[in-house]
Structure 1
Amino acid sequence: MVGSELARSSLKPAGFTLLELLIVLVIAATLVALVPPAINRVLPGVKLKGASQEMASAIRFLRGWSVSQGEQGVFLLDLEHKHYTITPREKVYEIPQGAELKLVAASDEGDGEQQGGIRFFPDGSSSGGRITLSDGGRSHRIDVDWLTGRVSLVH
């Protein structure tokens, strides 16, 4: 009796059926079709958030540099070409395509409507300003307090 049960169990085919394999392939194909559009919707927001964090970090660096070096430093934003620079560095920081920029700052910093800036003084204070980066639905704001020079990022 025991031998006949053992013989029957060894005759069962091992592996997956064709139906099981087809179901797995359908699920995998569905996931492959759904993931890229979801990534494309999320990616611009991630780029915008990263750009606003990088900009706030550069402005904070500039404030610290001005205090430690005892010199004035200038953050200069080019609204037309969508990039910015800071005084002690030669690097030009690019802002992602599709981002909208707004700058509210003292009128004596910058060059007309398309450029503006924020100046930091050796005592830590600044000319103050507000920079807004948006892409339609999402918006990130960088506030620079004129009295203390404190830089805050609001999502």
Structure 2
Amino acid sequence: MNIRFRDSGFTLFEMLAVIVLLAIAATIVVRSMGMSLSGSKTELIANQLQQSLRRAQLASLASGKVTMVRFDMNRRIFSAGHAKFVRWPESVSLHLTSAKQLGSAIAFYPDGTSSGGHVQVIGAHRSYRLNIDWLTSAVRMVQ
């Protein structure tokens, strides 16, 4: 009975193939995580803006006074009423459409109406549009 033993192990070619496959998989994972992080910044700013708009709407109804949400596009900030301002990152851009006489602002009135308009929050991989109804002052976000 003659038993032959083969050297066990992997060849250099097999090892290189495994390393290349792992590098490709790592690249895919890192890229998808990067897209997810930039998309989450965009979503975070859109959610913060939606909350600020809704707070301004409620503040106007509760106080009986006009409440403004102001945007400073050069400094990349917005604020609702007397609340602390929110800064958005350079990777996110905002485009505001509002009443011309208000400039870069949206007004909420005590009778439940608003100046209306919309704000687009645009990131590298996601974008959101916040619609502010002039008649009901409802704030709706669509992706």
Q: TM-score range by the shorter chain?
A: 0.7 to 0.9
- Using the alignment, how far apart are the partners of 1:34 and 1:137 within structure 2? 16
1:124 aligned onto 2:112: yes
1:106 aligned onto 2:112: no
- Using the alignment, how far apart are the partners of 1:33 and 1:154 within structure 2? 31
Q: How much does 1:37 deviate?
A: 2.8
Give unmatched runs, 5+ long, in structure 2.
1-8
Query: Following superposition of structure 1 onto structure 2, how do residues 1-155 of structure 1 map, counting pairs within 5 Å?
Result: 34-89=28-83, 91-110=84-103, 116-155=104-143
Give unmatched runs, 5+ long, in structure 1.
1-17, 111-115
- Larger CA deviation: 74-83 vs 55-64: 74-83
- Using the alignment, how far apart are the partners of 1:119 and 1:54 within structure 2? 17
Q: How much does 1:62 deviate?
A: 0.6
The Cα offsets for residues 52-76 of structure 1, whole Å up to 9 and x where unpaired, read as 0110111001100110111110000
1:108 is paired with a residue of what secondary structure?
Answer: helix
The Cα offsets for residues 105-132 of structure 1, whole Å up to 9 and x where unpaired, read as 001113xxxxx01001111110111100
Say whether the 8 Å CA contact 2:38–2:124 is kept in structure 1: no
The Cα offsets for residues 43-99 of structure 1, whole Å up to 9 and x where unpaired, read as 11111011101101110011001101111100001122211011131x110112221
1:67 is paired with a residue of what secondary structure?
Answer: helix
Say whether the 8 Å CA contact 2:55–2:80 is kept in structure 1: no
What TM-score do you get using the length of structure 2 for normalisation? 0.78
The amino acid across from 2:54 in the alignment is R
The amino acid across from 1:41 in the alignment is M
The CA RMSD measured in Å over matched residues stands at 2.4
What TM-score do you get using the length of structure 1 for normalisation? 0.72
Change (3 A) 1:135 1:105: same
- Using the alignment, how far apart are the partners of 2:36 and 2:125 within structure 1? 12
Q: What is the total number of aligned residue pairs between the two structures?
A: 129
Name the larger-Rg structure.
1
